[in-house]
Amino acid sequence: MVKDTNNGYSHISVVKRLGLKLRQLTDGRHLVQVIYTQNGDIQDCEYVTQGKSARNFLKTLRKELKLALDEEIYRIANKQPKNIGDEKFYRHFGNVTFRILKDGDRLPPDISNWFDYDKLKMECLKRHEELQYMMKNKNKVGESSLARSRRSLRENFIVPGTKWCGAGHVAAKYGELGADVAEDRCCRSHDHCRFNIGMFKRRFGYFNYRPYTISHCRCDRRFRACLKLADTSVSNMVGKLFFNVVQTKCFILKPVKMCTQRSWWGKCLRRGYTKQAFLRDNLPY
């Protein structure tokens, strides 16, 4: 779905797949990305203030729109009917809907109620506050309530047809895979990356405040290559959600000299090298 407005430059892209919905909205400078559950609740979101991210989103969106239009023009020129088996087209656009609105056209009613950048941004920030409150006050909230929330997060954010692609996994054992076997193998391998930092956890000298695990860049690169080799509509959707929306960051490890032993008075008695995590940008999918 693409929308151009006259009072500012705004584009929107929506991806749906069996209840999982992604909305991306930009004002040309900032970018809001929201993933909704089947019930319409915000599962995860990100408010990106870097202008580079908004520009990259617009660039990718225009490229995908041009590719879709070229495919359609070729189809019409050669009088070819749409074929659900045309893997080349549906691999990229089988779960995407485009609506082009001309100057003066009104927004469709099903879109106008959420085509509000400021409202979407505030909903995203509110969701982050809720997650941070639950983690900081887990004793007050109660372990059972927190466990239900984590279980809901895990179950709602598993890509249909898989058991490993999402926040955590729903497989009972390592050998259990979903219907989309190739994609699930990629996700399972990535889930077992030894170098990662869990959500709201500290490791390698870095505190991960995000509501999802971040992994070593080497693991993310292998995951990206695996999805590219699978090259299906599901693997491409997983890749775009993971690398372009959710997991835009990974980390590398560098040796850093620091104090390893201190006296009672806080004086450093011994120094040594330890591995420190440094964030890096993931390659877009």
Instruction: Name the 3-class secondary structure at 222.
Output: helix
C-alpha dist (Å) from residue 96 to 91, 129, 179, 183, 200? 10, 31, 22, 19, 33
Q: Which residues are catalytic?
A: 190, 220
Query: Is the dihedral angle over the CA atoms 205, 208, 212, 215 positive or is it negative?
Result: negative
The β-bridge relationship of strands 196-197 and 214-215 is antiparallel
CB 198 within 8 A of CB 213: yes
Provide the β-strand partners of residue 14. 23
DSSP classification of residue 6: S
Instruction: Name the 3-class secondary structure at 265.
Output: coil
The β-bridge relationship of strands 214-215 and 20-26 is unpaired
Residue where the block lists tokens 């850093």: 256
Which of 73-83 are b and which e, b meaning 16 or more Cβ less than 10 Å from the residue's Cβ?
A: eeeeeeeeeee
Distance (Å, whole) CA 57 – CA 244: 9
